[in-house]
């Protein structure tokens, strides 16, 4: 049978743990104080506060950077003098490329018939090259067989 004398200290230990781990009230945080909206941050410049540039301003800054680079300045320095980040510069430059391509007269899209004709011509050239390659490989294989005496 079970020895009941061992149950006494275990029950006492469980009771003392329950007393030690009594639930405590959670600490409550005081609400954050709100900053006054009327206080302007003096560390920010007028350009940093702006939300965006107009398309004309963007193109002017891109032209300014291009002229500075052509005059011998580094790209980083030109971007910094324009007052924009490198990421912004590349974003604007990427957005301006499609507009520039639309304005060029040399890059006319080909009509669908011309594209189809080009495709057919490329397929014919591909077939011709495959035949040349196959003939060359057959010749090399025949030569190797002769050398190895496999014929």
Question: What distance separates the 2 farthest-apart alpha carbons in the chain?
Answer: 103
Q: 0.75 cut: is pTM over it?
A: no
Could you give the CA distance from residue 91 to residue 93 in angstroms, rounded to a whole number?
A: 5
Q: Is the dihedral of CA 100, 103, 108, 112 positive or negative?
A: positive
Per-residue pLDDT tens digits for 79-119: 999 999 999 999 998 888 775 565 555 556 556 778 888 99
Could you tell me if 55 and 34 are in contact, meaning their C-beta atoms sit under 8 angstroms apart? Answer: no
Q: Express each pLDDT in 31-74 by its tens digit.
A: 787 766 555 555 555 555 667 888 889 989 999 999 999 998 89
Closest CA to 54 of 111, 21, 92, 19: 92
């Amino acid at each position: 049978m079970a020895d009941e004398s061992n149950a006494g200290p275990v029950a006492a230990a469980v009771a003392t743990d329950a007393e030690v781990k009594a639930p405590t009230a959670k600490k409550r945080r005081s609400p954050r104080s709100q900053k006054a909206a009327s206080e302007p941050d003096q560390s920010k410049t007028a350009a940093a506060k702006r939300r965006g540039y107009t398309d004309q301003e963007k193109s002017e800054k891109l032209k300014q950077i291009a002229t500075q680079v052509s005059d011998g300045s580094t790209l980083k320095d030109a971007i910094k003098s324009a007052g924009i980040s490198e990421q912004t510069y590349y974003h604007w430059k990427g957005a301006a490329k499609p507009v520039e391509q639309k304005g060029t007269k040399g890059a006319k899209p080909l009509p669908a018939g011309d594209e189809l004709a080009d495709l057919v011509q490329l397929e014919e050239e591909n077939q011709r090259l495959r035949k040349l390659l196959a003939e060359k490989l057959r010749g090399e294989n025949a030569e190797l067989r002769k050398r190895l005496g496999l014929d």
